[in-house]
Structure 1
């Protein structure tokens, strides 16, 4: 198989593998169904993990929105029933009717006392006050009933009970006002009026008031029951919604946990096998979420790796065959060239006998001249390198001196800072003494110097803190000075060593220049010898030139073929190494 055909075959196989890899990757992206399609089919494991988390949040928000809407609706529906103003009116009617009943019992006791002539004057005043209070209570009840909104309670109270209550109360009050006048007619007349009034008006009015109390109480109880029922329903709806949210969340979390734990462990086990070189298996894709997509892409990678490695293995086998074929051809050619070289050497040896001495001298002179030129070039290179080394060493020495000077300036600045710190410490001590003296003078001044004493104490505290800070700064400066001194010593040692290096480099440069002078002299002498030998060997060289050219071409061809044979051996060894590396992978039998 030719190299052109092998190259074209390899390109076609590589393009086919690349197309298969691309198609498998596209299928891995296209296999996952859309979110709404998975939701309609209730295949939650086909959803992505982000879609599941988003679905849980949306369901939670939706259920809470429904529960909130139900609670708002129930509260809105209770506004008309449990209107606070209407509830207050019902309670007011209940309390007023109860109060009116109490007044009736009080009037009964007062009228009984009048009927039996017990403290008539006092009882008359109490009777009038109680009648006035009863009349006010009846009017208040009427106003409260009138203020009620249209309802069954209002219809019952206003149409059935209120007219009878007003009629009975009006007649009862009129008869009670007549009792003081009946005292003039005698005690029996008063007792008879009391009996008639009680039988005709008091008992019906008490019954009506009791009916009003009963109706208002029942309404209040019914309103409370409705409110309690509404509250219980709202709580029930909220609990149901909360339970549904918990169930949905638990189910979704179980699904996510299964995807993230079980499927991930399976994926990790498969990836460990792939990492160990086993490419003959595939991961079972159980879901179509992110884990399933990764598993599909890993399968695509395994398939593409199988295809690629199989193609490489085939190419290596082809390479073995090509190397073996080329090695055989090179061996045949090399043998032919070797025979030609031997014959050319025989002819050259027979024609070179008469010029043997000249050729030996010429060859020796040429070899000497070549070696001298090589030595001259090497010595020039060494001289340039040594000169660059000296220049670099000088530059480094100058930088070390500049660094040493900078460190010395830092040391001097540290001494200046130490002097300034000592001055600050002295000022702090003097300030402390002045503050102490000021405190003493303030103490002598008594009440007038108390404020100044406080200021003096603050100044003294500040002076003490300043003294402490200066001590710490002084300690830090001393440590810095020690470090700078150490740096100065190290820099001085580096400068000495750099000076020694400069001296050694200068001596080496001088020696190299002397060697270059000697080599130049030898080069001139070698050139003169070569010129003389060439002049003497021109005639022999013309005769032997054609044979020498043939021999040279033969030698070159033989060397080239030898190199090619070595390259083929190296290429064959490389192919065997690649084949051994491929043996570490367990490829699928299908590929």
Structure 2
């Protein structure tokens, strides 16, 4: 059983093949547009992240410059307080820091939306406000406080500001997503710049401050000084570990830059600053350890400022070199992302156009043969069996074309066979029609003869049937007469008995009516008594009403009852009069009934005598009728036998006549079918002759 097409199949069946192709192309185009949109969204997101990383790296470099100079300012301030620096040198450094702060504030105003450095953003981040203008206020407060504070308080203020700058660096690395950079060749750059070197910036001033505390506690609190010394050794170990890790990271940075970025100048750019940083750190560490040893001997000199400054300078020099390389790598990555975006759009568009062109070509390779096949099918439907479809391709369409041509060849061969079969069919039907015509004439003659015999047989049967019917009616009449006479005799006997019962019943009725007359007289006496009681009741109710009027308001309800009793007494009196009247009428009627019953009894006695005489005469009639009934039955049986034979002959003739009629009708139907078959054969020959071979 063929399954019904689905809803989509029914829907697509309304469109042509080209419309279906355009619909598929539209769906493909929408899907392609959606894919391009998603791809561009992802690429734009990557471009946005790369742009933020570039902005964050620039922002961090400005912060680091401020950090470097404030760290130097701390040392210069300490030297100024002990008289080793003049005010002019300190003022120049302060002016430079103010300029750097201003540059940082200007840059922050440009990128605060991208890097989320507005005041509200810091609040949402659950951190203190690290806006550059807020840090500038702290810097100005520090400058104003220096003349009035001790060296230790100055160090505390400087360290607080440096800690805020360090926190701002970490915040920028988070908001710019530098730490989440996906490229392995940037990982070691970011790790070295934003972790190791930044930690060293915090380690050097911490060591300096701890050393100063160590100097003070050596005299004031020697046990605590020993703890300070151990802390300094720990920080020196951390600094050495960071330096070793920086060297390893620099080697990896050089390797990945050569491998992925083809940057063979990277070694020259990094090895020099790294070597200078190593020398500066090693000298700084040696100097600190030497001063710790000399201090144990009772010599408490300060760490030379040049060694501290050189460590700062070389740390920032390597940081700037790495920052430049990272900035270039990020810019190259941003450029590559933008190029990839346009290349993706162009390549996708090119593929879409190529796919559409290929689809059009495939569509033409399908529709053109199908259109040729459709034209050939129309011509074949119009009767042109010579039409054929050219087979161009050896695909499914080509196989369908071959099947169509094979079908046309089969139809042409079949048409030839039909033409020959039509000729033979026409000849055969003509011969059969002539034979059927002769049989039809013979059957018509036979049918006419049979009809005549049937008419004669029906007349004999009808006569016999009428005579038998008459005899049957006579016999039935005699039987009915005998039956009726017998029934009449029995009825007379019953009537005589009934009349005698009626005489007895009339005597009983007369006796009952006499008793009824006596009872009616008794009822009259009772009615008279009731009338007297009603009159007394009426009188009593009247007296009660008079007494109720005398009682006033208290007797009003009793007056109502008295009125109702009087009304009932009146109704009773009226009913008593009616009953008395009816009883008098009933007495008169009963007297008349007694007289009528007596008269009826006399008449019934007379009727009984007459019925007895009629019964005797009816008995004689019954005996005579019963003697004739036997003769009528014998004649009726003979006529019934004759009628049955005539009926059988008639039925046989009728069956023969019906058979002759059916045969004649069959021959006529057969002749008609032969004519239709002959007509169909002629039409078949005509249709075959119209088909083009």
TM-score, normalised with respect to structure 2: 0.32
- Greater relative contact order (Cα 8 A, min sep 6): structure 1 or 2? 1
Greater Rg by CA: 2
TM-score, normalised with respect to structure 1: 0.36
